[in-house]
Chains A and B, each alone.
Chain A
Amino acid sequence: ELKVEQNPLFLSMQEGKNYTIYCNYSTTSDRLYWYRQDPGKSLESLFVLLSNGAVKQEGRLMASLDTKARLSTLHITAAVHDLSATYFCAVDHKTSGSRLTFGEGTQLTVNP
């Protein structure tokens, strides 16, 4: 059974600071997704990481994937209030097409 764990689950940080969210998963997969969710809203796709060593950046967010360590990171640089949201990682079941298992989510609050 594929398990996906995120940490931390809650993160409160000040504007301008850097931080990393970690996503560990339990079985082999080479496709990992990061999503953002605002309160009461649906999920917005941030990144799709398709291979070992993949790194993608968009604005103040950078995601990376290490399939050997079964670890992905979402790094936040110089946080701003607009980044406050819940962030989910999700891992593709390698043998079942695009069926995803999600982490619990990291609730990020960026304080002025």
Chain B
Amino acid sequence: DVKVTQSSRYLVKRTGEKVFLECVQDMDHENMFWYRQDPGLGLRLIYFSYDVKMKEKGDIPEGYSVSREKKERFSLILESASTNQTSMYLCATDSSGNTIYFGEGSWLTVV
């Protein structure tokens, strides 16, 4: 079974703090994605990556950056957290595009 692990499940951070959310997958998939989920808005794509050291902006990249130094690890970075970034963040991965696997989610509260 594909395992997508988001190490931080619940975080509370202060406005202006730098926040790292990490995602690790164990299936050697090329493609990795970061989404945020908010009530009534579904999931929205923040950034994605098709290869190591490669990144592409999604639909809502403002206020975020990403890092992919190794194939299995894709990190989402909030350089200076703000209250409107309070959300659930979901990492996803796939290789062929037929099935996309999601992590368990990271609940971030910015106060």
A interface residues, Cβ below 8 angstroms from B = 4, 9, 31, 33, 41-43, 45, 48, 50, 88, 90, 92, 97-105
Contacts and interface: CB of A to CB of B under 8 A. Distances in A.
7 contacts: A9-B40, A42-B90, A43-B43, A92-B97, A98-B31, A100-B100, A101-B45
Contact of B43 (A31, A41, A88, A98): A88
B104 interface: yes
Contacts of A42: 90, 102-105
B93 to A, nearest CB: 10
Contacts of B94: 98
Contacts of B40: 9, 104
Interface of B: 31, 33, 35, 40-45, 48, 50, 58-59, 90, 94, 97-105
B43 A102 contact: yes
A7 B19 CA distance: 35
B57 to A, nearest CB: 11
Contacts of B44: 102
Contact of A33 (B45, B100, B103, B104): B100
Contacts of A45: 99-101
A41 B104 contact: yes
Contacts of B105: 41-42
Contacts of B98: 48, 50
Contact of B97 (A41, A88, A97, A101): A97
Given A41-B104, A42-B90, A42-B103, A105 B97 contact: no
A31 B98 CA distance: 8
A33 B100 CA distance: 9
B33 to A, nearest CB: 7
Given A97-B31, A98-B31, A105 B42 contact: yes
A26 B105 CA distance: 28
Most buried by B among A33, A43, A48: A43
